[in-house]
Structure 1
Amino acid sequence: MKSAWEKRRRLGYMPIGYKLMLSYLVFIIILITVNGYVSHSMYDASMRKQTSDNIKNTLVQIRDNVAYKTDDMIRISSTLYEDDKFVESLKLIPEDSREKHLRHEQTLLPKLDSASKSIGMNLRMFIYFKNDTIDEVYNIYDQHDTQSNEKVINMLKHRRISNTPWYFLFPEEEYGVTMVWEQVEDDRLSNRISMIRRIVDLSIPTNVKEIGMMRFSVLIDELFESVYFRNLGDGAVLLVKDKTGEIIYASDEQLDEARASSGRAPITLASMAESHPPGEFLTLEEYMPLQEWTIVAYVPLTIIKQEAERVQTYILLICLLCFVLFTFTGIFMSRYFSKRITKFVSVLNAFREGDLHKRISYRGRDEFSQIATALNGMGEDVEALINKVYLTQLQKKEAELEMLQTQINPHFLYNTLSSINRLAKFGENEKLQKMVVQLAKFYRLTLNSGKTLIPVSSEVEQANAYLDIQKVKYGRRLEATFDVDVNVWQYETIKLILQPFVENVLKHAWSGDRIHIRIVAKLEGDDILYRVIDDGMGVRQERIAEIMSLSNDSETGFGIRNIHQRVQLQYGEQYGVSIFSRRGAGTSVDIRIPARKRKLFLEDDQASG
Structure 2
Amino acid sequence: MIPASKASKQPRFIPFGYKLMITYMVFIIIPVIAIGYFSHSMYEDSIRVQTRSNIQGTLLQMKDNIEYKLSDVERISNMLYEDYSLITQLRIYEKGWDTYERTTKIVRPKFSIAVNATSLNIAMYIFLANESFPEIYHGKFLQERPDLLERNYNLYHLSRIEDKAWHRNFPAEQFGETMTWQRVERDEDFGRISLLRRLVDSQNPLDLNEIGFMRFSVRIDELFQGLDYSKIGEGSALVIKDEYGRVLYQSGLLPEGEAHGEASSHLYLTIQESVGESWAMTAYVPMTVMEQDSAKVRMFILLICMLCLIVFTFAGMFISRYFSIRMNKIVYVLNAFREGELHKRMGYRGKDEFGQIAAALNEMGRDIDHLIDQVYLTQIEKKEAELESLQAQINPHFLYNTLSSISRLAQFGEIEKLQRMVLDLAKFYRLSLNEGRTVIPIRSELEQVQAYMNIQTTKFGDAVSIFYDIDPSIIKYDTIKLILQPFIENALEHAWFGNSIHITVSGKLHGEDIIFKIIDDGTGMSPDKIKQIFDPVEGLNTGYGIRNVNSRIQLHYGSKYGVSIGSRPGIGTTVQIVIPAWREK
TM-score by length of 1: 0.49
One-letter amino acid of the counterpart of residue 100, structure 2: H
Q: Partner of 1:425 in structure 2?
A: none
Q: Quick check: 1:143–1:190 contact (8 Å CA) kept in 2?
A: no
Q: Quick check: 1:279–1:300 contact (8 Å CA) kept in 2?
A: no
1:112 aligns with 2:111: yes
Relative to structure 1, is the Cα distance of residues 283 and 271 closer, same or farther in structure 2, using a 3 angstrom cutoff?
closer
Shift of 1:143: 6.2
Q: Quick check: 2:40–2:297 contact (8 Å CA) kept in 1?
A: yes
Deviation string for 1:181-223 (max 9, x for gaps)? 0000111111100001110002223211111110110100000
Residues 316-465 of structure 1 correspond to what in structure 2 (within 5 A)?
316-332=302-318, 335-340=321-326
* Match 2:271 to one of 284, 292, 299: 284
Q: Partner of 2:121 in structure 1?
A: 122
Deviation string for 1:344-366 (max 9, x for gaps)? 9xxxxxxxxxxxxxxxxxxxxxx
* Secondary structure of 1:272 counterpart: coil
Shift of 1:106: 1.3
- Give distance in 2, aligned partners of 1:122 and 1:242: 22
Percentage of pairs with the same residue: 38
1:300 aligns with 2:291: no
Residues 451-600 of structure 1 correspond to what in structure 2 (within 5 A)?
582-583=580-581
Q: Quick check: 2:199–2:212 contact (8 Å CA) kept in 1?
A: yes
Relative to structure 1, is the Cα distance of residues 110 and 343 closer, same or farther in structure 2, using a 3 angstrom cutoff?
closer
Shift of 1:144: 6.7
Number of matched pairs: 340
- Give distance in 2, aligned partners of 1:102 and 1:61: 47
Stretch of structure 1 that moved more, 278-287 or 73-82: 278-287
- Give distance in 2, aligned partners of 1:250 and 1:165: 27
Deviation string for 1:367-420 (max 9, x for gaps)? xxxxxxxxxxxxxxxxxxxxxxxxxxxxxxxxxxxxxxxxxxxxxxxxxxxxxx
* Secondary structure of 1:284 counterpart: strand
- Give distance in 1, aligned partners of 2:208 and 2:54: 47
Q: Quick check: 2:193–2:219 contact (8 Å CA) kept in 1?
A: yes
- Give distance in 2, aligned partners of 1:44 and 1:232: 19
1:272 aligns with 2:260: yes
* Secondary structure of 2:324 counterpart: helix
One-letter amino acid of the counterpart of residue 38, structure 2: V
- Give distance in 2, aligned partners of 1:213 and 1:277: 44
* Secondary structure of 1:132 counterpart: coil
Q: Partner of 1:496 in structure 2?
A: none
Shift of 1:583: 2.8
Relative to structure 1, is the Cα distance of residues 235 and 85 closer, same or farther in structure 2, using a 3 angstrom cutoff?
same
One-letter amino acid of the counterpart of residue 328, structure 1: F
Relative to structure 1, is the Cα distance of residues 110 and 215 closer, same or farther in structure 2, using a 3 angstrom cutoff?
same
Stretch of structure 1 that moved more, 312-321 or 38-47: 312-321
One-letter amino acid of the counterpart of residue 287, structure 1: S
Q: Quick check: 2:139–2:145 contact (8 Å CA) kept in 1?
A: no
Q: Quick check: 1:90–1:131 contact (8 Å CA) kept in 2?
A: yes
What stretches of structure 2 of length at least 5 have no aligned partner? 1-14, 331-509, 519-526, 536-556, 561-577
Shift of 1:149: 8.9
- Give distance in 2, aligned partners of 1:89 and 1:298: 51
Q: Partner of 1:68 in structure 2?
A: 68
1:241 aligns with 2:241: yes
Deviation string for 1:227-265 (max 9, x for gaps)? 1212221221201001110011112x649x99xx9xxxx
- Give distance in 2, aligned partners of 1:133 and 1:28: 95
* Secondary structure of 1:190 counterpart: coil
Relative to structure 1, is the Cα distance of residues 76 and 30 closer, same or farther in structure 2, using a 3 angstrom cutoff?
same
Q: Quick check: 2:121–2:218 contact (8 Å CA) kept in 1?
A: yes
Shift of 1:332: 3.1
- Give distance in 2, aligned partners of 1:164 and 1:58: 40
Relative to structure 1, is the Cα distance of residues 17 and 143 closer, same or farther in structure 2, using a 3 angstrom cutoff?
farther
- Give distance in 2, aligned partners of 1:213 and 1:149: 18
Relative to structure 1, is the Cα distance of residues 522 and 104 closer, same or farther in structure 2, using a 3 angstrom cutoff?
closer
Deviation string for 1:109-156 (max 9, x for gaps)? 11111111112111100111111101101123996786x795121111
Deviation string for 1:310-344 (max 9, x for gaps)? 65455335423321222113433665543446999
One-letter amino acid of the counterpart of residue 580, structure 2: R
Q: Partner of 2:186 in structure 1?
A: 186
Relative to structure 1, is the Cα distance of residues 191 and 106 closer, same or farther in structure 2, using a 3 angstrom cutoff?
same
* Secondary structure of 1:73 counterpart: helix
One-letter amino acid of the counterpart of residue 294, structure 1: A
Relative to structure 1, is the Cα distance of residues 284 and 135 closer, same or farther in structure 2, using a 3 angstrom cutoff?
same
- Give distance in 2, aligned partners of 1:342 and 1:89: 103
- Give distance in 2, aligned partners of 1:321 and 1:145: 68
1:83 aligns with 2:83: yes
Q: Partner of 1:139 in structure 2?
A: 138
Shift of 1:64: 0.3
- Give distance in 1, aligned partners of 2:247 and 2:62: 16
Q: Partner of 1:157 in structure 2?
A: 157
One-letter amino acid of the counterpart of residue 93, structure 1: Y
Relative to structure 1, is the Cα distance of residues 195 and 322 closer, same or farther in structure 2, using a 3 angstrom cutoff?
same
Q: Partner of 2:176 in structure 1?
A: 176
Q: Quick check: 2:234–2:289 contact (8 Å CA) kept in 1?
A: no
One-letter amino acid of the counterpart of residue 116, structure 2: K
- Give distance in 2, aligned partners of 1:216 and 1:340: 88
* Secondary structure of 1:174 counterpart: coil
Q: Quick check: 1:229–1:236 contact (8 Å CA) kept in 2?
A: yes
Shift of 1:172: 0.5
* Secondary structure of 1:213 counterpart: strand
Q: Quick check: 1:129–1:213 contact (8 Å CA) kept in 2?
A: yes
Q: Quick check: 2:197–2:215 contact (8 Å CA) kept in 1?
A: yes
* Secondary structure of 1:188 counterpart: coil
Q: Quick check: 1:17–1:338 contact (8 Å CA) kept in 2?
A: no
Q: Quick check: 1:121–1:222 contact (8 Å CA) kept in 2?
A: yes
Shift of 1:282: 1.1
Shift of 1:289: 4.4
Shift of 1:74: 0.9
* Secondary structure of 1:239 counterpart: strand
Q: Quick check: 2:198–2:214 contact (8 Å CA) kept in 1?
A: yes
- Give distance in 2, aligned partners of 1:284 and 1:145: 34
Q: Quick check: 1:179–1:195 contact (8 Å CA) kept in 2?
A: yes
* Secondary structure of 2:189 counterpart: helix
Relative to structure 1, is the Cα distance of residues 339 and 21 closer, same or farther in structure 2, using a 3 angstrom cutoff?
farther
Q: Quick check: 1:126–1:214 contact (8 Å CA) kept in 2?
A: yes
* Secondary structure of 1:28 counterpart: helix
- Give distance in 1, aligned partners of 2:513 and 2:61: 47
Residues 250-261 of structure 1 correspond to what in structure 2 (within 5 A)?
250-251=250-251, 254=253
Q: Partner of 2:210 in structure 1?
A: 210
Alpha-carbon RMSD across the aligned residues, in angstroms, is 4.3
Q: Quick check: 2:512–2:581 contact (8 Å CA) kept in 1?
A: no
Relative to structure 1, is the Cα distance of residues 301 and 343 closer, same or farther in structure 2, using a 3 angstrom cutoff?
closer
- Give distance in 1, aligned partners of 2:326 and 2:512: 63
- Give distance in 2, aligned partners of 1:139 and 1:125: 11
